[in-house]
Every structure is written in structure tokens, then in C-alpha cells.
Amino acid sequence: MSDDDDRNLAPPQREPLLNAPWPSLVVVGAILASYAWQVIWGGGEAAALNLGFAPADLDHGRYSGLITVIFVHGGWAHAIMNALAALAFGPPVARLLGPSVRGVIAFFAFYLLCGVLSCLGYAALHLHDPEPVVGASGAISGLMGAAARLIGGGERLWPIWSRPVISLSLGWLAANALLAVFGGVAFMSGAKVAWEAHIAGFVVGLVLIKPLALSLGRIASR
């Protein structure tokens, strides 16, 4: 371990709004705006149940929930919590991928892919479960996993087994272990937030950010 590995072990702090790259602000705005739509025009709980993701949907060839789940939440507290997390962990990832058209497209594709794969990870552990999962937490966990590898600042990607990355990863695992033990927080009756999706999304972001950055030429291969 080098001395550099001991620096900046805390996760990235939530950035001032005006300093955040605009793609990350789009994610924040999409979370809040989509929940406002859900409450005002979408039918509230009905929208969450219809647009959330349930593993049983895959049994019937319904795959749209893998995407729409990102845009529905269980309450304002849930939506605001996810928006703040996106504001904290989205900017370093957006900066790494860059402001070019390719970089912006890659950022949004990465966010959606983390959300989809987090749901599939959840489904693998809950085959045929008819209960819906709601929220963008899986996709945001992917941003967190990617940001964990930028925890030292700049555009250097820390190795997965480096001390800063392991420290944040263990913290996230511990937080979700508490959700598993205590059953999470009931944001809405009839829907739930899944800690398994959080972990799956985090792992996806942790692993995929390097090949994505390499493909865009944003980091040098070593």
C-alpha cells in the first residue's frame, strides 16, 4: 500500500449545484420530476406498482419494468434521498467520461445499464417474486461504485482492491446488511426497496467503469 491509498477514504461529498456537470443534474431532475408526475398525474401508488419491476415480470416476457423502475419511487423522502445520492456520486463519473457527445451518451447509458443489471441481480435471488421493486437506487448504486474508484480525486481510477475502494465498498455492504436485517424502510405499502439491487448495482458500477472509460480514451490502459 502506498501512502496515497490512505488519503480521502471518505466518499465524495455532495457538490455545490452549480459545479456539477449537467448530465448529473439531468439525472437529479429526472428523479424529482418523474416522482412529481407520479404523484400529480400518474396515480401515485398505482404508478409504482405498474411501472416498478417484479422478477415475475420476466416469466411473462415483460421487460419494460427494468427501465421504468428507475423513474418511480415510494415517496418524496425516497425520491429526494436518491436525488441527493445522484448529486453526490454522479458528478465524478460524468467528469471522468467527459463532456463530449460520446461521453454524455456513455454516462446516461452507464446509469441505465447499472439500473437494469441491478434489477436482474435482484431477480436472480428472487425468482418468480410478484412483489415490485421501486426506485433509482440500483442505478445510483452503480454511480456510487464507479465513484468509489475515483475517490482519490482527479481522473485516476483506483484498483478495485485498493484501500480507498475497499473501505467505501465495505461501508456500503454494511449499510445494506442493516437493511437486510431490519427489513428496510417502508416508503409505500405494496412496494419495496431492495438492498440486493443496491449491492448488484454497486458491483456493476465498480467493475464496468474502467472498460467504459478505456473505450472512450478517458484513461490510459496499463
pTM of the predicted protein model: 0.87
Does a structural domain hold residue 13? Answer: no
Burial class (CB in 10 A: 0-12, 13-18, 19+), 94: buried
Question: In the predicted model, what is the mean pLDDT of the chain?
Answer: 86
Q: Residue 15: is its pLDDT beyond 60?
A: no
Does a structural domain hold residue 17? Answer: no
Low-confidence winner among 85-94, 121-130, 144-153, 185-194 (lowest mean pLDDT) = 185-194
pLDDT tens digits, one per residue of 23-51: 999 999 999 999 999 999 888 888 888 99
Does a structural domain hold residue 5? Answer: no
Q: Residue 191: is its pLDDT beyond 60?
A: no
pLDDT at 177: 84
C-alpha cell of 71? 423513474
C-alpha cell of 77? 423522502
Question: Average pLDDT for residues 11-28, to the nearest whole number?
Answer: 77
Question: Average pLDDT for residues 50-74, to the nearest whole number?
Answer: 95
Does a structural domain hold residue 15? Answer: no
What separation in angstroms does the CA of 46 have from each of 128, 189, 192, 193? 21, 11, 14, 16
pLDDT at 183: 59
Does a structural domain hold residue 59? Answer: yes
Does a structural domain hold residue 9? Answer: no
C-alpha to C-alpha distance for 135 and 153, rounded to whole angstroms: 29
Low-confidence winner among 79-93, 119-133, 160-174 (lowest mean pLDDT) = 160-174
Assign residue 17 a region (left: φ > 0; alpha: ψ between -120 and 50; beta: otherwise). alpha
Question: Range of 121's domain?
Answer: 22-215
Total tally of structural domains belonging to the chain? 1
**Residue 13: pLDDT band with limits 50, 70, 90:** low
Q: Residue 52: is its pLDDT beyond 80?
A: yes
Sign of CA dihedral 137, 139, 143, 149: positive
Does a structural domain hold residue 11? Answer: no
Contact present, 126 and 185 (Cβ < 8 Å): no
pLDDT at 194: 82
Cα 2 to its chain centre, rounded Å, is 30
pLDDT at 192: 58
Q: Residue 79: is its pLDDT beyond 80?
A: yes
Task: Kindly report the CATH number assigned to the domain that includes residue 59.
Answer: 1.20.1540.10
Does a structural domain hold residue 96? Answer: yes
What separation, in Å, do the N-terminal and C-terminal C-alpha atoms of the chain show?
A: 18
C-alpha to C-alpha distance for 177 and 118, rounded to whole angstroms: 16
